[in-house]
């Protein structure tokens, strides 16, 4: 049960109890009072407290049950970035190339992360720092994509063609392209990183001494048999 829900439940029920204590102990109200007015007020207060108890407790508890568990924030953000970029790509055709490149960059870092995990698993390389480096690089890429997405969001296709606002929108395009260039540079560095990681615990063996020895024995045996048959 969530902490906020517990606090609300405690506050609600504590409030009801406090009202009852004040009315019936402090003010000496009682539903058994010989005074008809006091008796009516007491019964009304009890009835209201009972109604409030059941209605508001039910609302709080049912609201907590009906509310679905939140998905991990990172997953929501990534899916949202892709879908929102695709939406604005249709709305802002003048940014088609930039948005396409941003989508390609997200696909690229995802593929590189999969390759990194595969190499580390194949080479049995339990280097957590390498995995962390990949994850941190991925975060930087997506953080930059978020910046692009914000620029794409405030882009207005109609106003872009307004000569009075040309400088503003030219600046937007310049900023978007600069961030895309940074991402490209990071992806190139990640390729170098993958190349270095793939060399860990990796040694090319030019020959197999055991195999060579066996072949030598077989050759000698064959040559001896040929000599004996002559």
Residue-level pLDDT at 3: 64
Tell me whether residue 209 is in a domain: no
Q: Which of 33, 66, 99 is at the close of a domain?
A: 66
CB 186 within 8 A of CB 140: yes
Q: Indicate if 61 and 121 belong to the same structural domain.
A: no
Q: Lowest mean pLDDT of 56-60, 166-170, 217-221, name the range.
A: 217-221
Residues 6+ apart with CB under 8 A from 138: 109, 110, 113
How many domains does one find in the chain? 2
Q: Indicate if 184 and 90 belong to the same structural domain.
A: yes
b/e per residue 131-169 (b: at least 16 CB within 10 A): eeebeebbeebbebbeebbebbeebeeeebeeeeeeeeb
Q: Residue 57's pLDDT band (boundaries 50, 70, 90)?
A: confident
Q: Indicate if 38 and 152 belong to the same structural domain.
A: no
Tell me whether residue 166 is in a domain: yes
In the chain, % of residues over pLDDT 70: 76
Distances (CA, A) of 99 to 25, 75, 181, 221: 70, 20, 13, 70
Residue 18 has pLDDT above 60, yes or no: yes
Tell me whether residue 219 is in a domain: no
Q: Indicate if 85 and 54 belong to the same structural domain.
A: no
Q: Indicate if 53 and 119 belong to the same structural domain.
A: no
Q: Residue 68's pLDDT band (boundaries 50, 70, 90)?
A: very low
**118 or 124: whose pLDDT is higher?**
118
Q: Indicate if 15 and 90 belong to the same structural domain.
A: no
Q: Lowest mean pLDDT of 26-35, 141-150, 169-178, name the range.
A: 26-35
The boundaries of the domain holding residue 13 are: 3-66
- What mean pLDDT value characterizes the chain? 80
CB 86 within 8 A of CB 103: yes
Tell me whether residue 212 is in a domain: no
- Report the pLDDT averaged over residues 64-93: 68
Q: Indicate if 56 and 85 belong to the same structural domain.
A: no
Tell me whether residue 85 is in a domain: yes
- Report the pLDDT averaged over residues 203-230: 62
Three-state DSSP at 29 gives coil
Residue-level pLDDT at 1: 45
**154-210 pLDDT per residue, tens:** 999 999 999 999 999 999 999 999 999 999 999 999 999 888 888 876 655 555 666
Q: Indicate if 48 and 150 belong to the same structural domain.
A: no
Question: Which tokens go with 102?
Answer: 């941003």
Q: Indicate if 145 and 81 belong to the same structural domain.
A: yes
Q: Indicate if 54 and 86 belong to the same structural domain.
A: no
Question: Which tokens go with 178?
Answer: 């600069």
């Amino acid at each position: 049960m969530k902490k906020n829900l517990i606090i609300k439940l405690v506050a609600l029920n504590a409030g009801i109890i406090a009202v009852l204590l004040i009315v019936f102990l402090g003010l000496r109200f009682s539903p058994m009072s010989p005074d008809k007015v006091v008796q009516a007020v007491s019964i009304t207060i009890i009835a209201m407290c009972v109604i409030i108890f059941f209605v508001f407790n039910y609302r709080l508890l049912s609201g907590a049950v009906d509310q679905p568990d939140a998905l991990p924030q990172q997953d929501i953000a990534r899916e949202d970035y892709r879908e929102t970029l695709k939406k604005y790509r249709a709305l802002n055709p003048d940014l088609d190339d930039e948005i396409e490149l941003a989508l390609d960059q997200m696909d690229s870092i995802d593929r590189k992360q999969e390759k990194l995990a595969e190499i580390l698993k194949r080479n049995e390389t339990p280097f957590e720092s390498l995995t962390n480096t990949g994850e941190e690089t991925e975060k930087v890429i997506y953080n930059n994509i978020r910046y692009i997405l914000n620029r794409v969001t405030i882009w207005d296709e109609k106003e872009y063609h307004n000569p009075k606002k040309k400088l503003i929108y030219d600046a937007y395009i310049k900023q978007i392209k600069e961030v895309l260039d940074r991402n490209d540079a990071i992806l190139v560095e990640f390729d170098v990183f993958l190349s270095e990681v793939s060399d860990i615990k990796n040694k090319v063996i030019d020959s197999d001494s055991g195999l060579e020895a066996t072949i030598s024995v077989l050759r000698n045996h064959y040559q001896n048999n040929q000599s004996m048959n002559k």
